[in-house]
């Protein structure tokens, strides 16, 4: 019978450049990992690595075991989650992936509602853009994403539910020259540096189409950064204009750090969505967090 630990050890060795780095990832010593693989090969009666070169190279059998092993471990994780359905919402884990907009927009209020009410559930959050988070979702490391879904629309292996769109706004430090302007126009905002988080492809299409129509071309973006705290600190110390979802910028306005101003360019809205693997069963805890995102995303 194949021991799942051997499969995990094989996958680690196949995905790391050295035996030591694989052992570190598994929290094992190098000799322990080497011994585990040797025992696995002994049980199989065949080699999974070719040791004739200076580096470990998978044999044909090893490549097949890696391919099947990834599916096997994913199925085991899903089975464990199925079992957790019987344990109720009081325990378990919820792993969420969010893009920068959802991380500061919807996520805080969801966590405020969920974490104090369910202290036995371990919640983890990974922030990034949809493309970076997708592999973790498909591998089972994340239960669902709350992110812009534009680049994954049409995928048959995903279930996507749009949440409420949030219009793009602009914000400046409270004593900025534009802070007192009721209706700044495109020429006013173009005079200052623009900074924001990385955006979905439709924003670049908007820029191209607007220029092609002979309209006022949106200003050049001086800085793109996934971390809104970095953007806000720069805006506080300069004449830069931060652009982003109104909900995110309004939260900074309530703390007195920024002043939201009218955005005179008719850009597209941000569009957060719930993204999950189609057909994957989640624990009651994860489903409860999803429900809270849906509530927050429609209010």
CATH number at residue 233: 3.40.190.10
Q: What is the mean pLDDT of the segment spanning 205-214?
A: 63
- The predicted pLDDT at position 200 comes to 78
The residues, any chain, with a CB within 8 Å of residue 119's CB and separated by 6 or more, are none
Burial 151-181 (b: 16+ CB within 10 A, else e): ebeeeeebeeeebeebebbbbbbeebebeee
Residue at 266 is within a domain: no
Span 38-57, pLDDT tens digits:
888 888 888 888 876 667 88
Whether the predicted pLDDT of 80 surpasses 90: no
Q: Are residues 196 and 48 in the same domain?
A: no
Q: Are residues 10 and 151 in the same domain?
A: no
Q: What is the mean pLDDT of the segment spanning 213-226?
A: 72
Domain boundary among 64, 83, 102: 83
- The predicted pLDDT at position 81 comes to 64
- Among the ranges given (51-65, 100-114, 143-157, 271-285), the one the predictor scored with the smallest mean pLDDT: 51-65
Q: Are residues 149 and 121 in the same domain?
A: yes
**Average model confidence (pLDDT) for the chain?**
85
The number of folded domains in the chain is 3
Domain boundary among 58, 83, 108: 83
Q: Are residues 159 and 276 in the same domain?
A: yes
Q: Using alpha carbons, list the distances in angstroms from residue 96 to 109, 202, 251, 282.
A: 14, 25, 22, 12
Q: Are residues 110 and 254 in the same domain?
A: no
Residue at 267 is within a domain: no
Whole-number Å distance between alpha carbons of 257 and 229: 11
Whether the predicted pLDDT of 88 surpasses 70: no
Whole-number Å distance between alpha carbons of 93 and 89: 10
Q: Give the position of tokens 């820029």.
A: 207
Whole-number Å distance between alpha carbons of 188 and 49: 64
Whole-number Å distance between alpha carbons of 232 and 102: 16
Q: Are residues 204 and 219 in the same domain?
A: yes
Q: Are residues 63 and 196 in the same domain?
A: no
CATH of the domain at 52: 1.10.10.10
Residue 90's pLDDT band (cuts 50, 70, 90): low
Instruction: Give the domain extent around 52.
Output: 4-83
């Amino acid at each position: 019978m194949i021991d799942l630990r051997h499969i995990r050890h094989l996958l680690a060795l196949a995905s790391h450049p050295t035996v030591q780095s694989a052992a570190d990832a598994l929290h094992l010593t190098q000799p322990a990992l080497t011994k585990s693989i040797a025992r696995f090969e002994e049980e199989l009666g065949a080699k999974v690595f070719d040791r004739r070169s200076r580096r470990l190279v998978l044999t044909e059998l090893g490549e097949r075991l890696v391919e099947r092993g990834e599916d096997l471990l994913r199925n085991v994780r899903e089975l464990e989650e199925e079992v957790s359905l019987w344990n109720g919402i009081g325990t378990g884990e919820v792993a969420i992936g969010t893009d920068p907009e959802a991380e500061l927009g919807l996520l805080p209020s969801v966590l405020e509602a969920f974490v104090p009410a369910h202290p036995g559930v371990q919640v983890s959050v990974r922030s990034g853009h949809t493309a970076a988070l997708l592999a973790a979702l498909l591998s089972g490391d994340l239960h669902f994403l709350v992110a812009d879904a534009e680049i994954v629309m049409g995928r048959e292996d995903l279930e996507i539910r749009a949440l409420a769109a949030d219009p793009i706004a602009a914000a400046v430090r409270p004593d900025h020259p534009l802070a007192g302007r009721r209706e700044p126009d495109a020429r006013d905002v173009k005079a200052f540096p623009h900074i924001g988080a990385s955006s979905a492809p439709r924003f670049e299409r908007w820029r191209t189409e607007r220029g092609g129509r002979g309209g006022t071309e949106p200003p050049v973006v001086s800085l793109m950064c996934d971390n809104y705290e970095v953007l806000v600190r720069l805006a506080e110390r300069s004449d830069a204009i931060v652009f982003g979802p109104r909900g995110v910028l309004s939260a900074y306005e309530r703390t007195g750090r920024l002043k939201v101003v009218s955005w005179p360019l008719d850009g597209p809205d941000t569009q957060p969505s719930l993204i999950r693997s189609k057909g994957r069963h989640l624990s009651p805890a994860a489903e409860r967090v999803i429900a809270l995102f849906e509530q927050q995303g429609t209010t």
